[in-house]
Amino acid sequence: MLFNAGVREVKKYFDEIIRGVAEGYLCEVNFAEFYYKSAEKLGLETTDILYEAIRNSPIKQIPVEGELTREAGRVKMRYRDKISIADAFLIALTYQVKGIALTTDPVIKEILRDKCRLFKV
Protein backbone atom coordinates (compact mmCIF):
# COMPACT_ATOMS: atom_id res chain seq x y z
CA MET A 1 0.00 0.00 0.00
CA LEU A 2 1.03 3.57 -0.43
CA PHE A 3 2.39 4.25 3.04
CA ASN A 4 4.55 1.15 2.92
CA ALA A 5 5.73 2.18 -0.56
CA GLY A 6 7.23 5.35 0.86
CA VAL A 7 4.42 7.77 0.05
CA ARG A 8 4.54 9.63 3.36
CA GLU A 9 1.74 12.07 2.43
CA VAL A 10 -0.80 9.29 3.01
CA LYS A 11 0.19 8.87 6.66
CA LYS A 12 -2.60 11.18 7.83
CA TYR A 13 -5.20 8.94 6.17
CA PHE A 14 -3.84 5.83 7.89
CA ASP A 15 -3.61 7.67 11.22
CA GLU A 16 -7.31 8.62 10.93
CA ILE A 17 -8.25 5.00 10.25
CA ILE A 18 -6.20 3.74 13.21
CA ARG A 19 -7.74 6.39 15.50
CA GLY A 20 -11.23 5.42 14.33
CA VAL A 21 -11.93 8.84 12.84
CA ALA A 22 -12.23 7.42 9.31
CA GLU A 23 -12.92 4.05 7.75
CA GLY A 24 -10.53 2.27 5.42
CA TYR A 25 -11.41 -0.44 2.91
CA LEU A 26 -9.24 -2.83 0.95
CA CYS A 27 -10.57 -5.24 -1.66
CA GLU A 28 -8.99 -8.70 -1.50
CA VAL A 29 -7.94 -8.41 -5.17
CA ASN A 30 -6.03 -5.22 -4.40
CA PHE A 31 -4.58 -6.84 -1.29
CA ALA A 32 -3.19 -9.66 -3.46
CA GLU A 33 -1.72 -7.05 -5.81
CA PHE A 34 -0.14 -5.26 -2.85
CA TYR A 35 1.34 -8.56 -1.66
CA TYR A 36 3.04 -9.53 -4.91
CA LYS A 37 4.30 -6.01 -5.66
CA SER A 38 5.66 -5.65 -2.13
CA ALA A 39 7.30 -9.07 -2.26
CA GLU A 40 9.07 -8.13 -5.49
CA LYS A 41 10.54 -5.01 -3.88
CA LEU A 42 10.89 -5.93 -0.22
CA GLY A 43 11.10 -9.72 -0.14
CA LEU A 44 8.70 -12.26 1.33
CA GLU A 45 9.73 -11.92 4.96
CA THR A 46 9.06 -8.17 5.11
CA THR A 47 5.93 -8.52 3.01
CA ASP A 48 4.53 -11.18 5.33
CA ILE A 49 5.01 -8.82 8.29
CA LEU A 50 3.18 -6.04 6.42
CA TYR A 51 0.46 -8.47 5.37
CA GLU A 52 -0.22 -9.51 8.97
CA ALA A 53 -0.16 -5.88 10.13
CA ILE A 54 -2.82 -4.97 7.58
CA ARG A 55 -4.89 -8.10 8.32
CA ASN A 56 -4.92 -7.13 12.00
CA SER A 57 -5.56 -3.43 11.40
CA PRO A 58 -8.91 -1.62 11.41
CA ILE A 59 -8.83 -1.54 7.59
CA LYS A 60 -11.85 -3.53 6.40
CA GLN A 61 -10.86 -6.25 3.96
CA ILE A 62 -13.66 -6.65 1.43
CA PRO A 63 -14.22 -10.04 -0.24
CA VAL A 64 -14.71 -10.40 -3.97
CA GLU A 65 -18.39 -11.24 -4.25
CA GLY A 66 -21.87 -10.11 -5.17
CA GLU A 67 -22.51 -6.60 -6.39
CA LEU A 68 -18.86 -5.60 -6.05
CA THR A 69 -17.95 -8.25 -8.61
CA ARG A 70 -20.71 -7.13 -10.98
CA GLU A 71 -19.71 -3.47 -10.68
CA ALA A 72 -16.02 -4.29 -11.20
CA GLY A 73 -16.99 -6.16 -14.37
CA ARG A 74 -18.95 -3.14 -15.59
CA VAL A 75 -16.06 -0.81 -14.82
CA LYS A 76 -13.61 -3.09 -16.64
CA MET A 77 -15.97 -3.32 -19.62
CA ARG A 78 -16.26 0.47 -19.80
CA TYR A 79 -12.52 1.18 -19.54
CA ARG A 80 -11.27 -2.07 -21.14
CA ASP A 81 -7.61 -1.52 -22.02
CA LYS A 82 -7.08 1.49 -19.75
CA ILE A 83 -7.22 -0.41 -16.45
CA SER A 84 -6.48 -3.81 -14.95
CA ILE A 85 -9.12 -5.96 -13.29
CA ALA A 86 -7.57 -5.02 -9.92
CA ASP A 87 -8.05 -1.34 -10.81
CA ALA A 88 -11.66 -2.11 -11.74
CA PHE A 89 -12.22 -3.57 -8.26
CA LEU A 90 -10.63 -0.51 -6.62
CA ILE A 91 -12.91 1.79 -8.61
CA ALA A 92 -16.00 -0.36 -7.94
CA LEU A 93 -15.25 -0.48 -4.20
CA THR A 94 -14.80 3.30 -4.15
CA TYR A 95 -18.25 3.68 -5.72
CA GLN A 96 -19.77 1.08 -3.38
CA VAL A 97 -18.57 2.66 -0.13
CA LYS A 98 -18.88 6.22 -1.47
CA GLY A 99 -15.27 6.73 -0.47
CA ILE A 100 -12.08 8.33 -1.68
CA ALA A 101 -9.46 6.14 -3.37
CA LEU A 102 -5.77 6.70 -2.61
CA THR A 103 -3.57 5.86 -5.59
CA THR A 104 -0.41 6.59 -7.53
CA ASP A 105 -2.15 5.80 -10.83
CA PRO A 106 -3.18 8.87 -12.88
CA VAL A 107 -5.65 6.79 -14.90
CA ILE A 108 -7.60 5.96 -11.74
CA LYS A 109 -7.56 9.66 -10.81
CA GLU A 110 -8.87 10.51 -14.28
CA ILE A 111 -11.74 8.04 -13.87
CA LEU A 112 -12.67 8.82 -10.25
CA ARG A 113 -11.91 12.56 -10.40
CA ASP A 114 -12.88 14.11 -7.05
CA LYS A 115 -13.33 10.66 -5.46
CA CYS A 116 -9.59 10.06 -5.62
CA ARG A 117 -6.34 11.40 -4.16
CA LEU A 118 -3.33 10.99 -6.44
CA PHE A 119 0.14 10.65 -4.90
CA LYS A 120 3.55 10.59 -6.53
CA VAL A 121 5.97 7.80 -5.67
Contacts with 103 (C-beta within 8 Å, 6 or more apart), sequence order: 2, 90, 109, 116, 117, 118, 119
Where are the alpha helices (H) located in 7-58, listed in sequence order?
Answer: 11-19, 28-42, 44-55
Sequence-separated (6 or more) residues with CB below 8 Å from residue 52: none
Counting the structural domains of the chain, the total is 1
Q: What is the pLDDT of residues 9-20, one digit of tens each?
A: 888 898 999 999
pLDDT classification of 1: cutoffs 50, 70, 90: low
CATH number for the domain spanning 71: value is 3.40.50.1010
Tens digits of per-residue pLDDT, 74-99? Answer: 999 999 999 999 999 999 999 999 99
Q: Which domain holds residue 72?
A: 24-118
Q: Does residue 14 form part of some domain?
A: no
Q: How far apart are CA 107 and CA 111, in angstroms?
A: 6
Residue 37 belongs to a domain: yes
pLDDT of res. 8? 75
Q: Is residue 77 part of a domain?
A: yes
